[in-house]
């Protein structure tokens, strides 16, 4: 099983390995599942209450399908761990956090200081996403009203 290098949750990690989506939807009742790029995250929606870990695989850092998969799960109310696995780079961490990831298991370990700086950089954002941060338009109109 893949240990996350970074984890932004207080609950205890799931200690069993994640299984593939096909096995999971065939009737398994484990709490951890892995989605490959190109698999439809919406197939998990009937099972969200029983899931505690979803791993989303990034096969290449240029492949952004996992970003949509993460948001789809968060928008459906999934509250368990959402872990980005594979080709995860320092400069993608902030966007991944915004899409709802709260754990990262990069194939190549990240420089801890660079990762911390990258995550701290963007204090304000232009659009709504899955992180609950109020976008600039909300700040503007809260200030005016």
Partner 1 sequence: MYQYDQYDQAMVDTRVAEFRDQTARRLDGRISEEAFRPLRLMNGLYLQLHAYMLRVAIPYGTLSGAQMRLLGDIADKYDRGYGHFTTRQNIQYNWIKLSEAPDILADLATVEMHAIQTSGNCIRNISADQYAGAAADEITDPRPYAELLRQWSSFHPEFCALPRKFKFAVIGSETDRAAMRLHDIGIQIVRNAAGELGCAFYVGGGMGRTPMIAPLINAFVPLDQLITYSEACLRVYNRYGRRDNKYKARIKILVHELGKDEYTRQVEAEFAHLLTQNIEPPLAEFARIKAFFADPAFDPAAPDAMPNGDPAFLRWVKANTAAHKARGYAIAVISLKPAGGIPGDASADQIRTMADLARDYSFDEARVTHTQNIVLPHVRKADLFALWQKLVDADLATANLDSIGDIIACPGLDYCSLANARSIPVAQRISEKFAAPVRQDAIGELKLKISGCINACGHHHAGHIGILGVDRKGVENYQLSLGGSEGADCSLGTITGPGFSEDGIVTAVEQVTEVYLAQKQGEERFLDTYRRIGMAPFKEAIYG
Name the site residues for partner 1 (rule: CB under 8 A). Answer: 61-65, 67-69, 71, 75, 89, 91-92, 94-96, 98-99, 111, 114, 117, 121-129, 135-137, 139-141, 144
What is the number of other CB atoms lying within 10 angstroms of the CB of residue 15?
9
What does DSSP assign to residue 100?
T
Of 13 and 61, which has the nearer Cβ to partner 1? 61
How many whole angstroms separate alpha carbon 80 and alpha carbon 116?
23
Rounded least distance, CB 49 to partner 1, Å: 19
Of 52 and 65, which has the nearer Cβ to partner 1? 65
Of 14 and 34, which has the nearer Cβ to partner 1? 34
Rounded least distance, CB 37 to partner 1, Å: 8
How many whole angstroms separate alpha carbon 130 and alpha carbon 68?
10
Rounded least distance, CB 10 to partner 1, Å: 23
Q: Give yes or no for a contact between 31 and 53, defined as CB atoms under 8 angstroms apart.
A: yes
Phi-psi region of 13 (alpha: psi -120 to 50; beta: other; left: phi over 0): beta
Of 5 and 63, which has the nearer Cβ to partner 1? 63
């Amino acid at each position: 099983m893949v240990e996350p290098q970074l984890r932004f949750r207080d609950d205890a990690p799931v200690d069993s390995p994640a299984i593939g989506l096909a096995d999971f939807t065939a009737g398994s009742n484990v709490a951890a599942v892995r989605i490959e790029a190109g698999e439809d995250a919406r197939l998990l929606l009937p099972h969200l209450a029983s899931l505690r870990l979803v791993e989303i695989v990034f096969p290449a850092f240029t492949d952004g399908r996992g970003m949509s998969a993460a948001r789809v799960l968060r928008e459906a109310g999934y509250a368990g761990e959402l872990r980005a696995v594979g080709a995860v780079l320092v400069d993608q961490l902030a966007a991944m956090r915004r899409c709802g990831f709260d754990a990262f298991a990069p194939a190549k370990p990240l420089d801890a200081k660079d990762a911390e700086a990258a995550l701290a950089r963007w204090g304000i954002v232009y659009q709504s996403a899955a992180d609950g941060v109020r976008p600039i338009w909300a700040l503007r109109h809260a200030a005016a009203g």
